[in-house]
Each structure stands twice: as C-alpha cells, then as structure tokens.
Amino acid sequence: MSHADTIFALATGAGRAAVAVLRLSGPNCAAVIRSLAGTLPTPRMATLRTLRRGDGAALDRALVLWFPGPRSFTGEDAAELHLHGGRAVIAAVGEALAALGARPAEPGEFSRRAFLHGKLDLTEAEGIAELVEAETEAQRQQALAQAGGLLARQARDWAGRLTTLLAQEEAAIEFAEEDLPSSLDGEVRAGAAALACEITAALADGGRGERLREGLDIAILGAPNAGKSSLLNALVGREAAIVSARAGTTRDVVEARLDIAGVSVTLADTAGLRDGADEIEAEGIRRAHRRGEEADVVLALFAADAPPDGETLAVLGRRRCLVLLSRCDLAPSPLPATVAGEPALAVSALTGQGLDALRARLEEEVASRAGGGSLLTRPRHRAALEDTARHLAAAADAPVPELVSEALRQASQSLGRLSGRVGVEDVLDVVFGSFCIGK
Ligand SMILES: Nc1nc2c(c(=O)[nH]1)N(C=O)[C@@H](CNc1ccc(C(=O)N[C@@H](CCC(=O)O)C(=O)O)cc1)CN2
Ligand SMILES: Nc1nc2c(ncn2[C@@H]2O[C@H](COP(=O)(O)OP(=O)(O)OP(=O)(O)O)[C@@H](O)[C@H]2O)c(=O)[nH]1
Ligand SMILES: [Mg+2]
C-alpha cells in the first residue's frame, strides 16, 4: 500500500441512492480530473461537468469538486465526484479512474493520509470513525468531541509538560556533574508525581466512555414460559421474538436494539432454562447461559404464577441480577416483594404493569455503567495512559537522576502512542483497518 498512489472510493453507502459520492486523493488527482472533466474546476466550488472516458464516451453528468492540497481533508490534492447513484454509473466511473492509474482505497486510507499529513492525530481520526458508527445521541456527542480534538488537546498538554520535565531533568544531571547544588531534580520528581496523579484521575472514569462507544448487553433469563420473549417484545415495541404458550419456544438468542439513556443497548431474549430438554433446546440453553455470563445486566424472570425454578435461582447465586416477577397479572396479590432475598419488581408484558418502573431501573443500571463526559473512548487510550502514568510514577521514585530521565522518556513514548506520534506501523494498521471504505 503506497502513500504515493492516487486512491478512490465510494464515500456514500452502497445500494440505491439519488447521489453517489466518489472520493479521490493523491498526487495524480489534478491529471485525473482534467482527463475526466476537461479542466480543473475552481477550488472547493461545486461545478457541473460531463465526465468522459478516454475515448470520449460520456460517463455521467456530475458535480465535481477540486480540493488542491494541502488545504484538503487529506492534506494532499483531493477531489469528489457527485455522481448519479446508479450501480452501473459508479462501476463505469470506477473503471475510468482505474484506467487513469488511480486505485481503490483501503478501509480508512483517506483518514490515514490526513493523519500522515498532520491534519489529524490518531484520537481525532478515531473520533471520525466513531461519528460514522454512532447510533445514539450520546454516542454522537462523544464522537464529535473526540473528532474535534478533546483527547488530542489534553494529550498535547500532557506531552508538553512531560517534555519540559525531561529537559529540566537533563539540566539537573548537567548541574550535578558541575557539582552545583540544584533543587531541580526534586522539582521534576514532584512534577512527574503530579502529572501521574492527573492522568490517573482521567483513567478513573469507570470505563464509561468505552462502554458508551461499544454499547451494553442486557440478557433476559428464566424458565420456559416465564414470559421472556413477551417482555422483550414489550420493551422494544415490536414482535421481535415468537411468543407461544408452549414451553421451549425460543431456542436461538433473539437480539433487539434499544436506546436507553443515550446508550446503545442490545437486549437478548434466550431459551428457557430447564433440565431434560432435547438436543436443540439444550444447545439453546447453553447459549442462554453464555449470554448471561457475558451480559452487563441480567434480567432474571420468575413467573409470578409459578414457584421460583431452581435453574434461574442458580443464576441468581452466580451473579447480581435484576429480579422480575413476570406475568404478574396472573397471580393473586399481594405479590412477594423478594425472590430468594432479592428485591423483585412485578411486571406484566400483557397489561404493561411495572414496565415504566422497569425502564427507569434499566436507565439507572445503564447510566451507572456508561455515558458521556469521558476523555477515553477505547481500550487503546486506556492502555497508553496507564503505561504513561506508571512510567511517571517510576520517574518520581527513581533512585538516581539518570533513571528519572529514562522513566520520563518511556512515559513520553507511551503518551506518543496515544496520539500516534510514536508511530508503530501496526498500531496504525489496527486503527485505520477498522474504518469503512471511503473514510
Ligand atoms: N462532500 C463531503 N461531505 C463531507 C465530508 C467530505 O469530505 N465531503 N467530510 C469528510 O470527512 C465531512 C466534513 N469534514 C471535512 C473536514 C475538513 C475538510 C477540509 O477540506 N479541510 C481543509 C480546510 C478547508 C477550508 O477551510 O476551506 C483543511 O483542513 O485543510 C473537508 C471536510 C462530512 N461531510
Ligand atoms: N397473562 C399473561 N400472560 C403472559 C405474559 N407474558 C407472557 N405471557 C404468556 O405466557 C406464555 C409464554 O410467553 P413467552 O413470552 O413465549 O415465554 P418465554 O419465557 O419466552 O418462553 P420460552 O421461549 O419457551 O422459554 C405465552 O402464552 C404468553 O402469552 C403476561 O405478562 N401476562
Ligand atoms: Mg421465548
């Protein structure tokens, strides 16, 4: 993959659409646009042109945008073709571009070039990917802040202070050689300890930003016929799962997406837990248990009109669950307030009783685990900052000035990985490889 190539990709979604945007970037852009559109349009001004193949045949009437570098998204010559959205139009123009020496872009290659040309740091590029993937309002806000440099600015501030500390420690080492008394070493150690503290405080966010980006998983577990599928349908407001009076209706895990408190939540309905099921149902029950173990929150359902079953009680013993007494319209009141000592919320998917209270409880559970206001949105950020804080703490406590300086250098390296300044090619491959084509 050469950064000297001129690349192109469809920037808009596949499938039928009114307009399709083909994006181009690279040193050969001007020649490619001249060849397709006759002359270069005025920079950054949408211009209607007939695009023609080498043999003069018309390809499409399109809006052409020309972005001379370095004042472009990628920081090099770039262009956009706003085509009619037909599959054949896109294919024909793509063929013409390939014939002119441009090649299809890899996933994330436009953002990678913007990064390489210093237009974005790595966390800002990640923010752009997060913006494209955002499904909820809170995810959008977090992604926009990240793309706008929220973490990048903080990292630059930390990096600047770290560089100052390193320079001061080098000076302290010099002074020591000249046998001059200096308090500089002590000041640097105190500065390193303070910076370690500040970074540790930023890390102590309970992973809320990462969870907001990734979304949360909630699993519904309980005996056959407890009303799990009915509850899923009631919560998502559509018939996502099959409901029937026969025990053992659900076998596969049925997933539905919900927006709870601005967090993207995957709600999973599972096979009813019981012994002695047939082969297929038994596999469903294994999947149910696995879902329960992986979930952030488990809803344990007990039918209010039946005694609590041992299988679901065993789940309560293994992990903290939100306990629900389902089908509560079928049981005579008063209902028990607890199951196996756990407070239980009475709900009915049929009458809707208790559903608002359940939604409120779910909002609390979700809001306590994920939400906005965090600088960190990825495990990668956490790992880099944990290393940085560790090296800073080591610098504060190092036995001799030379080791203070060495630890500060390592802290600087770790922090550089966060912004991508200390660029190990494989980190870039991982980050940009997860982007979609055309980004
Ligand atoms: N048609 C279209 N819409 C789009 C994009 C695009 O590339 N094309 N974007 C793509 O992500 C987003 C907008 N982001 C952009 C960010 C920077 C530049 C850009 O060219 N920046 C120049 C400054 C340009 C100027 O100030 O006039 C630069 O940074 O040098 C373009 C788009 C969303 N919408
Ligand atoms: N009266 C009443 N009936 C309910 C309620 N919830 C579910 N049912 C009925 O209980 C039966 C089982 O409901 P499902 O939602 O399929 O139960 P399930 O837990 O998904 O069952 P499996 O998939 O077999 O594990 C169906 O006949 C539902 O109509 C409720 O709140 N009130
Ligand atoms: Mg079911």
244 Cβ below 6 A of ligand 2: yes
Question: 214-370 domain in CATH 3.40.50.300?
Answer: yes
The DSSP string of 351-396 is T-TTHHHHHHHHHHHHHHH--S--S--SHHHHHHHHHHHHHHHHHH
Phi, psi of 323 (to 5 degrees): -95, 130
Q: Where along the chain do its domains lie?
A: 7-116, 137-205+378-434, 214-370
Q: What is the pLDDT of residue 424?
A: 60
217: β partners: 266
7-116 and 214-370 share one fold:
no
Q: Does 250 appear as a known binding residue?
A: yes
In the CATH hierarchy, which fold is given to the domain comprising 7-116?
Gyrase A; domain 2 (3.30.1360)
Number of neighbours of residue 318 by Cβ within 10 angstroms:
11
Ligand 2 atom nearest the C-alpha of 326 is 31
137-205+378-434: what CATH class? Answer: mainly alpha
Q: 183 among the known binding-site residues? A: no
ipTM: 0.87
97 token code pair: 């571009």
Ligand 2 pocket mutation, candidates 225, 281, 351, criterion most atoms within 8 A of CB: 225
For residue 434, the model assigns a pLDDT of 74
In order along the chain (439 residues), what is the average pLDDT of each group of 10 residues? 93 90 98 97 98 96 97 97 95 97 96 95 96 94 97 96 91 74 85 98 96 97 98 97 96 96 96 91 96 97 96 94 98 92 97 98 96 94 98 96 95 94 70 77
| pLDDT score for 75 | 98
